[in-house]
Amino acid sequence: MQVEEFLKSLIEKDILITPDALELLKSSEEAFKGVNEILTERNVFILTKQIIEEKLKEKEEKKVPLPEEIQVNRSGNFKPLAREYKADFKIIERHDVSGKSKCTGIVDDFVGYFRDRYRKTLNVLRTRTGKVGISPMISLKSMMRGREVRIAGIVNSKNVTKKGDLLIEMEDEEEVAKVLVLKNDKECFEKANKLIMDEVVAVDGRASGPFVIANDIVWPELPINQQKKTEKDLGIAFISDTHVGSRFFMQKQFVKMLKWLNGGIDGDRNRELVGKIKYLILAGDVVDGIGVYPRQEKELVIRDIYGQYKEFGKLLQNVPDYIEVFIGPGNHDAVRRAEPQPKLPKELTDEINAPANVHYLGSPSTIEVEGLKTLVYHGTSIDSVIASIPGLSYQNPEKCLIELLKRRHLSPIYGENPIVPEEKDYMFIEDSIDIFHTGHVHRNGYVNYRGVAVVNSGAWQDRTDFQVRQGHVPTPCIMPIYETHYAKMNFVNFLAGEGV
């Protein structure tokens, strides 16, 4: 259509056009096509250059190619050690909410949930040594001033006084107590500064009328254990945040990893390590999802949730059959957003069409692998904990994970990210564990804490526009692999160069 004819059609429709938009139309055939789509899709009274450019950008994004068909061939001379061993694992069902959710949202559900959280934590705190045992808060009223006391409760509030001290309000099942932490007591003040809302702790101090003057904060903590090793020389690989369906999904590197698992990368110096891998654990955000955040559709190459899981299933078919795969959900997956999250429903696992060596988990879940208790949690609460505790950052997610282990709770702040008040608090860490695996923040981190291998497995998604705006720098395509015989964590980089 000539420009003159197009302008006549606009006049007939009572649509105005700005001069700069007209110049753009004169110089671009694509702009003409975009304008016709705009007029078909919505009512426009004034055509501006900005409207046309936004449409052209949207059309360009839609041109992002769909994921290519992949083919991974197993190396003929690859003799993995892991194939020689029978898998030894157990999913501990009592820690998984899947199929057990009974919450109806009534007040009694919330009361029951917090009572369960409080009582479980209290039982752990009672095992912590101290000069005195835990006293109920109601007994403070009858205590002499200066008497040593230990109380335990849920943190309701934390405020700085005019003198710079900290005033903390705590609550048990019967009473509310006020705890004063003096700024001159630097060690206790530093600990108290890390207290967060809704966590359950014990406080040592001295009774002083309506207050307890604190001298120590006691968290439930994990016991200190020797890092456990296994007789078999096997490996556990950890991944998360694949975000299949996103245009930022790093398929080339993911396929490279799959080829590596099959022993098929020339010149690889890690052939012995890959041959040990018997287990692969994925901690959520399997796909990018639909409608997770505003205008997400502009960043998708697969705009159908079933199609995303189907594409993930194609990739999964290339994992060697002797490797047991465990898959949990994340906040981008098609399960409820609130935690604890159940495992992926059957209509989605049918799309994945996974082989028998694939197992689905809720988040959180606990798996016993070769005798190693492995806690798997996507890590959604990491955001709120980093925002609430001084000194934490996304650069070192493992430091945040240590704070969760100190509290023996995976999501201590209620309401910052949604939690379903089940009759049992599935977010409480009941058992001693050997491995703690999370994802969510797209950045690798590892530390050995009290005999627990604590690992965040990064991501397989490139840096998104949102992350650029936030200044967050992820570490994609780096796979942590834990050697169970040596209790040693390795990191294999599939991003740099052609090799591994």
Spatial separation of the C-alpha atoms in residues 498 and 413, rounded to whole Å: 44
Q: Which domains does the chain have, with CATH numbers?
A: 3-62 (no CATH), 81-101+224-493 (3.60.21.50), 129-218 (2.40.50.140)
Q: Three-state SS for 129?
A: coil
pLDDT for 18:
85
Rounded to an integer, what is the distance from CA 88 to the centroid of its chain? 26
Residue 72 CB coordination number (10 Å): 18
With tokens 């199609």, the residue in question is 307
Spatial separation of the C-alpha atoms in residues 378 and 317, rounded to whole Å: 23
Residue 93 CB coordination number (10 Å): 12
For residues 384 and 415, the answer to whether their CB atoms sit within 8 Å is no
For residues 330 and 439, the answer to whether their CB atoms sit within 8 Å is yes
Query: Sheet harboring 435-438: ordered strands across?
Result: 89-91, 365-369, 372-376, 435-438, 452-457, 444-449
Q: Three-state SS for 35?
A: helix
| Nearest alpha carbon to residue 344 among 293, 410, 419, 287 | 287
Residue 63 one-letter amino acid = K
Structure tokens at 484: 């169970």
pLDDT for 6:
72
pLDDT for 69:
63
pLDDT for 67:
55
pLDDT for 22:
78
Residue 152 CB coordination number (10 Å): 23
**How far, in Å, are 109, 261, 267, 282, 331 from residue 419 at the CA level?**
12, 37, 48, 22, 12
Structure tokens at 55: 């449409």
DSSP string, 208-232: ETTEEEEEEEE---PPP-PPP--SS
DSSP string, 265-304: -TT-TTHHHHHHEEEEEEES--B--SSSSTTGGGGBS---
For residues 311 and 398, the answer to whether their CB atoms sit within 8 Å is no
Q: Could you give the count of Cα atoms lying within 13 Å of 276 in the half-sphere of its Cβ?
A: 22
Measure the N-to-C terminal CA separation of the chain; round to a whole number of Å: 54
pLDDT for 215:
95
The partner residues of 479 in beta bridges, in order of sequence, read 492
pLDDT for 68:
61
Spatial separation of the C-alpha atoms in residues 312 and 353, rounded to whole Å: 10
Q: Three-state SS for 63?
A: coil
Spatial separation of the C-alpha atoms in residues 166 and 478, rounded to whole Å: 42
pLDDT for 471:
80
pLDDT for 94:
93
Relative to beta strand 200-208, strand 148-160 is: antiparallel
* Mutual angle of helices 49-62 and 29-41, in 10-degree steps: 100
pLDDT means over runs of 10, the chain (500 residues): 69 79 73 67 74 71 56 79 96 95 91 95 93 91 89 96 96 94 96 97 92 96 94 98 95 93 79 95 96 85 94 95 97 95 96 95 97 97 95 95 98 91 95 96 96 97 84 92 97 76
Helix%, strand%, coil% for the chain, nearest 5? 30, 25, 45
Spatial separation of the C-alpha atoms in residues 316 and 463, rounded to whole Å: 23
Residue 273 one-letter amino acid = L
| Nearest alpha carbon to residue 411 among 377, 442, 452 | 377
Residue 196 CB coordination number (10 Å): 18
pLDDT for 472:
84
